[in-house]
Structure 1
Amino acid sequence: MGRFPAKSDYEDMRNARISENQARLASLGLQKTISELRLITTPAKSPKRKWQKVDYSSVPLRRSNRLKQVNPNSSDASISVGRSLRFLADPDTELSDGDVSEEDEKRPANAPLVDWRLCRSAEVSSERRCMSKGRGSVYDPVFGICCHFCRQKKLCGEEDCKRCNDLDVDQPCLGKTDCSVCHSTNGVLCRACLKIRYGEEMEEVRNNKQWKCPHCIEEEGSKPYWICNSSFCLKKRKMVPTGIAIYRAREMGYESVAHLLMDELQRKDKR
C-alpha cells in the first residue's frame, strides 16, 4: 500500500493564512453567522388583516339607468327597457297586430318588410361609394338586406336593382338570393358569398325559380354531404369555421369551399 504524500509548503502557508484571518475577524468582532445577519436585515412582518364578511343585504345594489328606466338627460322622463328604434321612431304612433298584413308576412327573404317609422328616425344615406357587384357598395340599416354568410347589411351593386338604386321597398333585391322552399334568411346570400362559398353564379340562381338554399338541399337529401358552411351553421354542427378557405380550395382544384367540405366529409365518413 502506498503512503499519502506529505503536505506541501503551500498547504502549510494556506492554513496559516486562514488562522490569521480568523483571528483578525475575531478581534474586530465580526464573528456573526449568516442566520444572525438575516435576523438583523429582515423587516418585521406586518400583522395579517382579519377577514370580515360583507353583508350585501344591507348595501344598496348598483343599477344602471337602463334598468332603472331613467333617462340620463332628464330627471323626470323615463325610457322603456329594450325598445328598438322601430317603436321609438314616432312616439305618437303605437303598433298593433293589424299593422302587418298576411301579404307582408309572405314577402320573400330578399324583399323584407320595411317599417317607415324606422325610415323617418334613421338617417339613410343613398350616396354610393362604389359600384361593386360583390358584397355591395354601402351599409344601410334600413334598406340593406343581411347576407347569411358574411352578415353584411349593404345595398347591392346590381344596375337593375330598384330596391337598392331607387329604394323601392316593394321590389326584391337582385343582389341577394331567395330560397324557393323556405324563403327564410338562411337562403339570403350575396353575389360574392354565393360564388366563393358555393360555386354558383347570381344570374343562374336568379333565372332558376326552383333554386334551393343549402339548408333545404340538406333536409331533402338530394345532394349528400352538401351543407351550409357559414360560421353559425358550422358551430351548430360542432365544427370549426373555415375562415378564408377559398384559396386552399382553389389550390386543391375545388370550385368552392362547399365542394371542399363535401369531399372532406365524404372521406371522413368512409374511414
Structure 2
Amino acid sequence: MGRLSAKYDYERLRNARISENKARMESLGIHRSADELSLILSSTQSADGSSSTLKRNKKVRNLEDTPLRRSDRLKGLFQDPDASSHVRRSDRLKGKTVELDAVSIQVPARKRATNIIYAVRRRLLLGRCESKGRGSIYDPVLGICCHFCRQKKLCGEEDCKRCGDGDVNQPCIGKTECSVCHSSNGILCRACLKVRYGEEMEEVRMKKDWTCPHCTEEKGINKFWICNSSLCLKKRKMVPTGIAIYQAREQGYKSVAHLLMDKLKHEAIQQ
C-alpha cells in the first residue's frame, strides 16, 4: 500500500507540473508564435515549388578514358637487380666490397654486427677527427658525454686509442677525469674546459690530483668558485649563462667561471 500511495502522489505532482507549464507557455504566446512560423515556412516552400535547401549536382568522372598510373615495379619492367641503368641500389644491398682509404670492409647484406662493430667501421671509414675542441663526429658508442656541452663526440687527439682505434676499453684522453668523484660531473672536453673554466687540457693531464669544477665548488676549495654548467646553475636556482665567453673576454676575464666568481664577490660585498 505504501508503494501505491507514493506512486499516486508522484503522478499527481507530475500532472500538476505539466498543466502549470502549459498555462505558462500559453500566457507567453509560445504556441501562437510556433504556429505563425510554421505557416511562413509552408508558404515559402509552396511559392518556390521546392525546398529552400539547394542540392549540388555531383559531377561523375569518367574513369574509363583515364590511364592508370602504376610504378615500374608493379608493371614488372625492372627484374634485374644489378642493372644500374634501371634500379639504383647501394653496394651494401648488392653485397659488394666498399673500399675507402685502403680500408676494405665486406658489408653484410643483413645486420649481423653489433653497434660497437658498426661504430668502429664508421670511424675507420671517416678517418681521424681533425677538431681538438669538442670534436666533429658524434658517436653514441665511443663518444663520452661532456658535463657542460653534453655532446658524445670523438676527440681529435692523435694518441687517443679509444677515438682513434675504436677501443671501447681505453679512456678518452680528450676528456678530463676528476680524481675525487670519478663521475660524469668531472668529464669535460677541451673546448669547454678552456672556455668555461680557463684550464688547458695538457695541464690537467699532468695533474694526477686534478679536481673538477663541480667538486671544487662542493668542497669549498676556492671561495665563490662555481660550476657554471646549466645543470649545476639550475640546482643553485640561477639562470644559465648561455654564450658568455665573449662578455668575459671583453671585460678581461680568463673564462666564464672567473666572470661569475667576480660577480658573486661583488654581490657578497654589497650585501
TM-score, normalising length: structure 1: 0.55
Q: Which residue of 1 aligns with 2:203?
A: 204
Q: Which residue of 1 aligns with 2:159?
A: 160
Q: Which residue of 2 aligns with 1:125?
A: 122
Q: Which residue of 2 aligns with 1:137?
A: 136
Q: Which residue of 2 aligns with 1:180?
A: 179
1:200-241 deviation per Cα after TM superposition (whole angstroms, max 9, x unaligned): 000000110000011211122110111110111111111111
- CA contact under 8 A between 1:128 and 1:138: conserved in structure 2? no
Matches within 5 A, 1:26-65: none
Q: Distance in 2 between matches of 1:195 and 1:269?
A: 26
TM-score, normalising length: structure 2: 0.55
Mind listing any 5+ residue stretches in structure 2 that lack a counterpart? 1-112
1:106-155 deviation per Cα after TM superposition (whole angstroms, max 9, x unaligned): xxxxxxxxxx9552587862114740100013000100001010111010
- CA contact under 8 A between 2:178 and 2:186: conserved in structure 1? yes
Q: Which residue of 2 aligns with 1:71?
A: none
Q: Distance in 1 between matches of 2:262 and 2:191?
A: 22
Percent identical pairs in the alignment equals 72
- State the superposition RMSD in angstroms: 1.8
Matches within 5 A, 1:1-271: 118-119=115-116, 125-126=122-123, 127-128=126-127, 130-271=129-270
Q: Distance in 2 between matches of 1:237 and 1:254?
A: 23
User: Given the superposition, is the C-alpha separation of residues 168 and 123 from structure 1 closer, same or farther in structure 2, using an over 3 Å criterion?
Assistant: closer
- CA contact under 8 A between 2:119 and 2:142: conserved in structure 1? no
Q: Which residue of 2 aligns with 1:112?
A: none
1:177-197 deviation per Cα after TM superposition (whole angstroms, max 9, x unaligned): 000000000000000000000
Partner of 2:159: helix, strand, or coil? Answer: coil
User: Given the superposition, is the C-alpha separation of residues 124 and 185 from structure 1 closer, same or farther in structure 2, using an over 3 Å criterion?
Assistant: farther
Partner of 1:209: helix, strand, or coil? Answer: coil
Partner of 2:122: helix, strand, or coil? Answer: coil
The one-letter code matched in structure 1 to 2:210 is W
For residue 254 of structure 1, report the CA deviation from its aligned partner. 0.2
Larger RCO of the pair (alpha carbons < 8 Å, separation 6+): 1
Q: Distance in 2 between matches of 1:211 and 1:218?
A: 13
The one-letter code matched in structure 1 to 2:259 is L
The one-letter code matched in structure 1 to 2:116 is C
- CA contact under 8 A between 1:124 and 1:140: conserved in structure 2? no
Q: Distance in 1 between matches of 2:267 and 2:210?
A: 28
1:23-48 deviation per Cα after TM superposition (whole angstroms, max 9, x unaligned): xxxxxxxxxxxxxxxxxxxxxxxxxx
- CA contact under 8 A between 2:129 and 2:154: conserved in structure 1? no
Larger helix share, 1 or 2: 2
Partner of 1:266: helix, strand, or coil? Answer: helix
User: Given the superposition, is the C-alpha separation of residues 155 and 239 from structure 1 closer, same or farther in structure 2, using an over 3 Å criterion?
Assistant: same
- CA contact under 8 A between 1:249 and 1:256: conserved in structure 2? yes
Q: Which residue of 1 aligns with 2:8?
A: none
Q: Distance in 1 between matches of 2:147 and 2:114?
A: 26
User: Given the superposition, is the C-alpha separation of residues 121 and 166 from structure 1 closer, same or farther in structure 2, using an over 3 Å criterion?
Assistant: closer
Q: Distance in 2 between matches of 1:122 and 1:135?
A: 18
Residue correspondences, number: 156
Q: Distance in 2 between matches of 1:202 and 1:215?
A: 17
The one-letter code matched in structure 2 to 1:142 is V
